[in-house]
Structure formats: structure tokens, C-alpha cells
Amino acid sequence: MENTNDTYKTLDKPSEEVMFKEKKSKFYAYAYPIETEAEVKPIIESLKKKHHTANHVCYAWQLGVEQLSYRANDDGEPNNSAGMPIYGQIQSFEVTNTLVAVARIFGGTKLGVGGLISAYRTAAKMALENADIIEKIEQEQFKLNFEYAQMDMVMRVIKQKNLQIVSQQMEMQCELILSVRKQDVAQVKEIFVGIYGVELT
């Protein structure tokens, strides 16, 4: 078994709400699987609506496998007292394509920066402990165009290599979109290139 870096850990589905209490402040924490940064804003806005008495909805996210991008947001809490502790938990659980958000409802007693860091870290950790973490394989997609006559050969390769068909159009001119495990892409492409009349894009 060769050690490859085309697997990553992420969440199967959004976690259930968890709540951590510190000196009457309540920290409601959530973890979500995301694919793009564009998904973050609507989720945060829905949490602000849900917890309309929350003073802060702080969050952190990480996307990508080889090229990581991340953001941590303190939402008005003292600098690096919320977003970064949350992001630290995303790192320690080694998950990506993940958003963790914590809504804080102030309980009347100031926690101080140390107290905030500890509370946000704990809430984020609880959310991730409560989430279903799964391992996924990085996939790449490419398109095959071929004549109907090549169908048998193409299908044989797909069966042998256990490839996933994302979409297909079968007429005189056939078009298939395949999803292939990243580490196998070069080898699979080579096989298809070797079949006369098959075009890859």
C-alpha cells in the first residue's frame, strides 16, 4: 500500500448544536462541511438570526487539501481571542473543508482574553467531537468524447478501474464525465489516450 496524500478528513454532515457555559456566558457551537468560501456567509447569517441575542458569532474555516486556505473571524471579540482558538481546533482534528462557528450570549461577567480563548477553544472542540468525521478521497474529473463504436472498450476500462461516471450522453457521439481518484488520474488518462478515437478534455 503506497502512502499517498490524496485522502483528507472532513465532516459527513453538519453537527448538532452543543453548548458550553462559562460564568453565565453561553457558547453555542456548530461544525459544518463546506466546499467553497461562498457557503460561509449564509451559514453565519442564519446563526445570527437563530441567536439574535448573541453578541458575537465567531468562526473559522479551512478549505483545500494540498493548497490550504483558511480564515478566522473574531466578530468584535478582542483580537485573536475567538477565531484563532476555533481554527486551532480545526487543525488539531486535522479536518478540512470545514467551518466551525460559535455564537456567544454574554452572561454579564467579563471573561478576559484568556477566558475567552479557553471558552471558544472548548466550544469548538465540543462541536468537532460531536461531528461525524469521515475520510474522503480527492477526486479529479475529466471528460471523454468518443464514437459509439468505442463504447465497449471505454466501458471495459471503467469497469476494470472501478471509475465513477458523473454524467453521460450516449448517442452516435458519446460523452462521459468521469471522477477519478487523484493518484490514479495520470495512469487512467494514459489508458484512454491509448484507445483509438477517444478524446480527453
Q: Are strands 98-105 and 139-147 parallel, antiparallel or unpaired?
A: unpaired
Per-residue pLDDT of the chain (201 residues; tens, 9 = 90+): 344 567 899 999 999 999 999 999 999 999 999 999 999 999 999 999 999 999 999 999 999 988 899 999 999 999 999 999 999 999 999 999 999 999 999 988 899 999 999 999 999 999 999 999 999 988 888 899 998 888 888 989 989 888 888 898 888 789 999 998 888 888 888 888 888 888 888
pTM, to two decimals: 0.80
Q: Which residue is associated with the grid cell 459527513?
A: 12
83 within 8 A of 74, measured Cβ to Cβ: yes
